[in-house]
Structure formats: C-alpha cells, structure tokens
Amino acid sequence: MSYFLGIDVSTTATKALVIDAQGAVASAASTEYAFETPRPQWSEQDPALWWRGARESIRKALAGADIPGREIAAIGLTGQMHGLVLLDAAGRVLRPAILWNDQRTAAECDEIARRTGRAELIARTGNDALAGFTAPKILWVRRHEPAVYEQVRQALLPKDYVRFRLTGDYATDRAGAAGTLLLDVRKRDWSDEILARLDIPRAWLPPTHEGPDVTGVVSAEAAEATGLRAGTPVVAGGGDQSAQAVGVGAVREGVVALTLGTSGVAFASADQPFVDPDGRLHAFCHAAPNTWHLMGVMLSAAGSLRWYRDALFPNASWDELLAPAQDVRPGAQGLFFLPYLTGERTPHADPMARGAFAGLTVRHESKHMTRAVLEGVAFGLRDIFELMRSAGLTSIEQVRISGGGARSPLWRQILADVLETELVTVNTTEGAAFGAALLAGTGAGAWGDVREACDATVRIAGATPCDPETAKRYRPCYRAYRGLYPALRDSFRAIADL
C-alpha cells in the first residue's frame, strides 16, 4: 500500500503527517523548537532546528504508522512563508533566518516603493511592500550586513531549506514564492523587472514549480538521517496558507477557507488573479496549478481571545469563559472590541494599531466583554470579506472554517451571523500538513489533479447556518465598529510614540 508524507515547517514546530492512498491519516508527529527575538521587532530562527525537527518527526511518524520508509511514495512540503534563509556557494547558512513576523524592515519597504513605484509593484506582485515579506529582508541584509551579503549565492524560504537538506536541490513552489514580493503573480514566475529595480540577482532564487510538481528525490544522506527511501520523490508543495486551503478543499472559485487560529485568515480561490489596486489584500498563486487566491490576514483572531482569558481569567476553562456570553444579546449592549493587539495587516496595514474596548459602561459585566471580543474578531473578518467583494470576488458560495477558534459553536454562530453566510466544517483537521500530503499524492499519480484529490478525501462534516434576524441586528453594529479605527488611528500613533 502506498503512503504519502506531508511535512509542515512552522514557526514553533516541524510536523510530519502520513496518509494512505484513501486520504486517511495513519500517523502524525511534531517536534517543537523556539525562535529568537534578539532585538525589539526582530524574529529569527536557526534553520538547523527545522532540519532536526524534520528528521525527528519523520522517524516518529513512520514509527507511528508502523511502516518502513520505503512505503512512502512521495513527500510534500509546506511551512511558514516570507522568511529569508541565505546560503553561500557551498550551501552553508550565512546567518539566522529572518522570519515572517520580523518587523525591522520599514525603511526597506519605503525603498522598495520608491524603486519600483507602488502601483507597479502591486500590479506585478499582487502585494504592497510590507515588513513581513522576503524582499525587504534581502535589502536589509545588504544595508546592515554587507559582509554577509557579499557571500550570498542562494536565498530560500524556510521549507525550501528542508527541501535542500532532503534532496540537495534548490526549488520552491509558486504559492510560497508569491509571498516574497519578487514573483509576477500573473506570469507565475520571478519578475525580472522587480528584481532589476531592486538589484537582486535572479541566480539567487530557486526555480519555481506548481504544487504537485516533483522537484527532486530524497538523497542517500537524507535517507540515512530520516529512515526514508533514497529516491523518494519530493513535490513542490505550497506555503502554509495555500496548503491549508488544499487540506480543507478550498481549491475552486467560490469556496473560501476561513482559518480561526492565532491569526485569522480568509482565503478565496480564484481562476484568475484578483489584485486589489490598493494592496490591502494579498494576491498570491495557489498551490493548485494555474489557480490563484485572494487572502486577507487578521493578526490577532483567536489570539485575541487567548490574551483576554490569560490576562483577566487565567484559571478559567474555555467553556467557563464562553458559556456566560451565550446569554448576551448580539451587540454586547453597545460594547465593542478592536482586535489590533499586535497591530493589523488587513484591512489596515498598520503596525501602530492597538487593541481597545469602546463603549464601556457600569452596566457591562465580564460576559459582555467576552461577547465583545468574539464579535470584534468577527467584525474584523467581515472587513476582509468586504474587501474581497470590492476587489471583484463576488461569488462566495461556501465558507469552510477551521482552526482552534472554530471549535466553539458560539463563535461559529456569531461569525455566520456577522458574515451573513453559512459556515461549514470538514472532516480533516490536520491543516497544512494534510494539504502537503495531498499534493504529494497528486504528484505521485494517486489522483489526477488537486481538485480530484480534495474531492476524494475532504467531506463536509457540519454546518452553521446564518440566522437572518440576528444578521439584521448585527448590521448597525458592524457600521459602528468600522468607524472606530479611523477615529482612533491618530491616537494609536500618539500612544505608540509614548
């Protein structure tokens, strides 16, 4: 029997997931590690941690499935996007990787906008210059670490460093590459125009591939380190959000994947690139070949609820925290929560934005505050949906929700009512690693294409319909919420200056 392996190189752990030819999960294993913040707003990680995590997790996953490595027919990769790994001519790591959540590159983002022209940058890459992307990190190293920069011969994303250690080959997927700010999303390849204006050598960037494409095979050295069979094909895979979308079956236009994790992500598949001319949404290539996606990211979604509990009710279980909010009427008696605890990305690309409760009175109790947090996150996610519609993505037929926050029936109902759409859950809960394994199976020929793989393995497990009367009550609440950020923006900046 053939099995497929998905490897997810995240910020806090590397996960290995084994599925069989029917898409059933045979085993999963994870190896955790830390990242470093050597200065304020910096976020770095030693790439050796990912390779150690991959080795250990692969061996544990094989043992958990009780299969030898030769039973793995193909391997798919996914992981954190936007990070920068710099290698010299011998493939040695030159400095710790600069991660997606690093915020040191504000000056470099301004430089990119000047060099490229903001409108042209967005038109070609589908994105504005934000600190999290890869390109400004390269410019930062050039400016601040010239001795390192002179030695650079290859620039990789985190998961592609693990690919290099597995196969000895340099390669990347087009979904992940779209998050570098160096890919032409329409051409689905590196933008020679942007590279020239930023003076970044194209030779430093690996070849790009569609998600199911085979990019190399497991080397003899990697086979010995992992227990896999030498010669096992490794497919391109996808960035974590596109692989997550494959994992829940969001590979057709009209199907939106809504992830309610620490961050909140709305991911809409499309048969053509939808580029927001103002750059408020991300337009990326999908891991499914010749498919694109439009994406909005809220930085603190379920993270807002966790902060609220940990700060005010550290000994409460989630059920104890949420149960009283069930009895609070929609709108929390005029209390609003702005979920900008770590700044915001969509729709307000503002690292200075701050969280806030607005409308507090002596009538409000803790249950109203809890309800306001749940509703504030829902309103913020509706902001993303409204942007998607304004960008031209008018066909939203189904929203598939996943992530830790989606386990709450109350939160699912609030989201359905605020978004005014039915939310469905699916039978798969393994996220991006599962999507990477499906891409591996597709590349190995188990399924004809990615959509067929999803149709064969992903099924609707439950539904939360929108209540029309509650949705009607939420409309004026949402209008009031939308007025709060513009009213407070200058105050947020003044507070940040303090």
Cα–Cα distance measured from residue 428 to residue 44, given in angstroms and rounded to the nearest whole number: 31
As assigned by CATH, the class of the 3-236 domain is alpha beta
What CATH superfamily classification does 249-498 receive? ATPase, nucleotide binding domain (3.30.420.40)
Cα–Cα distance measured from residue 61 to residue 70, given in angstroms and rounded to the nearest whole number: 13
pLDDT at 20: 96
Catalytic residue among 20, 173, 240, 383: 240
Contact by Cβ (8 Å): 325, 248: no
pLDDT at 335: 98
479 vs 344, higher pLDDT: 479
Q: How far is CA 394 from CA 194, 269, 282, 397, in A?
A: 30, 12, 16, 9
pLDDT at 403: 86
Nearest to 6 by CA among 298, 479, 432, 460: 432
What average pLDDT score do residues 472-487 get? 98
Burial of residue 277, with CB atoms counted within 10 A of its CB: 0-12 exposed, 13-18 middle, 19 or more buried: exposed
Q: Is the pLDDT of residue 496 over 90?
A: no
Strands (E), 157-280: 172-173, 183-184, 189-190, 208-209, 214-217, 233-235, 238-239, 255-260, 264-270
Q: How far is CA 323 from CA 30, 80, 273, 332, in A?
A: 32, 34, 42, 14
pLDDT in tens, 7-18: 999 988 999 999
- Two tokens at 112? 């990119």
Torsion-angle region of residue 91: left (phi > 0), alpha (psi -120 to 50) or beta?
left
The average confidence (pLDDT) of the chain is: 95
What average pLDDT score do residues 204-215 get? 98
Percent of the chain with pLDDT over 90: 86
Cα–Cα distance measured from residue 244 to residue 27, given in angstroms and rounded to the nearest whole number: 18
User: Within 10 A of 90 (CB to CB), how many other CB atoms are there?
Assistant: 7
pLDDT at 267: 93
- Provide, for the chain, the percentages of residues in helix, strand and coil under a 3-state DSSP scheme, each rounded to the nearest 5: 40, 20, 35
What average pLDDT score do residues 35-54 get? 93
Domain residue ranges of the chain, discontinuous segments joined by + = 3-236, 249-498
Read off the pLDDT band of 90 (50, 70, 90). very high
Q: Is the pLDDT of residue 50 over 80?
A: yes
Q: Is the pLDDT of residue 1 over 70?
A: no
Respond yes or no: is residue 327 known to be catalytic: no
- Two tokens at 260? 């309610």
Contact by Cβ (8 Å): 368, 403: no
pLDDT in tens, 144-157: 999 999 999 999 99
Q: Is the peptide bond before 347 cis (omega within 30 degrees of 0)?
A: yes
- End-to-end, the C-alpha distance of the chain in Å comes to 62
Helix ranges (H only) for 35-167 are 47-65, 106-116, 118-125, 134-144, 146-149, 158-167
349 vs 382, higher pLDDT: 382
pLDDT in tens, 141-193: 999 999 999 999 999 999 999 999 999 999 999 999 999 999 999 999 999 99
pLDDT in tens, 239-281: 999 999 999 999 998 899 999 988 899 999 989 888 888 888 9
Q: pTM (2 decimals)?
A: 0.90
pLDDT at 223: 98
